[in-house]
Amino acid sequence: MLQVTIVGLVRAVKETQTRLDYEIDDMTGPPIEVKQFVDNDESLPAEERVPSMRENTYVRICGHVRSFGGKRSVVAYNMSPITDMNELTCHMLEIIHSHAFNASSGQNTNQTSYGGDNNMSMNQGSYNSGDGGNILGLTPLQNQIHQVIKNNPSDTGASVVSVCQTLRGIPEKAIKDAIDFLSSEGHIYSTIDEDHYKATDG
């Protein structure tokens, strides 16, 4: 299953109780259809519902490419607004770095055409392994923690305690900060509670 990261402008939003449908424009072609499945039942308090992203704002989306009836779309598992435009610049640099890395190694699998009449190229570089299985754009500690979580065979995922025990000598706060970052960026996700995680590419 192809995992991608998209940064683009929200052009349209359609809300239902079970799904948020977006048209995202990343300026490389026609808008991309992005679907985010939610549980926004009317009985839920407002603060517990998943808020929709506003139109004409930039967002970062982590998700999977799906194809249905010959039409491709992205199913998002993490979506967050961009509040610092440096993040947009950083994303562009990640795409350039990923393309240059693959061109020099002769492997062009990280840069994937969206297909159809859409000429958009989506950056998958942040989810693909470089040397030693590292993820591009992460610090050595973040990569190390990601590998520990990814290698955990448990159905419930790796606990924060087990990660700390595996990486003895590294301050617990530094590990927790890295886990929070990996979770917010969509590299890992919580399972049974906020202390157990699995890798999204595991």
Residues 18 and 85 in one domain: yes
Containing structural domain, residue 147 = 138-199
Residue 128 clears pLDDT 80, i.e. is over it: no
In a domain, residue 185? The reply is yes
Tell which residue, 111, 114, 113, 115, has the closest CA to residue 98: 111
- Of 128, 160, 178, the residue at which a domain comes to its end is 128
Contacts of 93 (CB under 8 A, 6+ apart): none
Residue 162 clears pLDDT 50, i.e. is over it: yes
In a domain, residue 49? The reply is yes
Residues 156 and 56 in one domain: no
Residues 183 and 119 in one domain: no
Tell me what pLDDT residue 121 has.
40
Q: What is the CATH number of the domain that holds 68?
A: 2.40.50.140
Helices 140-150 and 172-184: crossing angle in degrees, nearest 10, is 80
Residues 5 and 42 in one domain: yes
- Of 128, 163, 191, the residue at which a domain comes to its end is 128
Tens digits of per-residue pLDDT, 68-85?
877 889 999 888 899 888
- Mean pLDDT, range 158-165, rounded to an integer: 91
Question: Dihedrals φ, ψ of 19, to 5°?
Answer: -155, 145
Residues 122 and 74 in one domain: yes
Residues 146 and 103 in one domain: no
Residues 146 and 118 in one domain: no
Residues 119 and 153 in one domain: no
Residues 194 and 109 in one domain: no
Tell me what pLDDT residue 159 has.
92
- pLDDT tier at 123, thresholds 50, 70, 90: very low
Tell me what pLDDT residue 108 has.
42
Tell me what pLDDT residue 55 has.
92
* Count of the separate structural domains present in the chain: 2
Tell which residue, 140, 160, 139, has the closest CA to residue 149: 160
Beta-strand ranges (E) seen in the chain are 3-15, 19-25, 32-37, 58-68, 71-81, 111-115, 118-123, 158-159, 188-190, 196-199
Residue 13 clears pLDDT 70, i.e. is over it: yes
In a domain, residue 133? The reply is no
In a domain, residue 53? The reply is yes
Tens digits of per-residue pLDDT, 17-70?
788 999 999 887 889 999 998 876 777 777 777 788 999 999 999 889 888 877
- Of 97, 128, 159, the residue at which a domain comes to its end is 128
Percent residues over pLDDT 70 in the chain: 83
Does the pTM exceed 0.75? no
Residues 119 and 142 in one domain: no
Question: Dihedrals φ, ψ of 152, to 5°?
Answer: -75, 125
- Mean pLDDT, range 176-197, rounded to an integer: 88
Q: What integer best gives the mean pLDDT of the chain?
A: 79
Tell me the CB-side half-sphere exposure of residue 96, using CA atoms within 13 A: 6
Q: What is the CATH number of the domain that holds 177?
A: 1.10.10.10
Residues 12 and 81 in one domain: yes
Q: DSSP 3-state assignment of 189?
A: strand
Q: Are 104 and 110 in contact (CB under 8 A)?
A: no
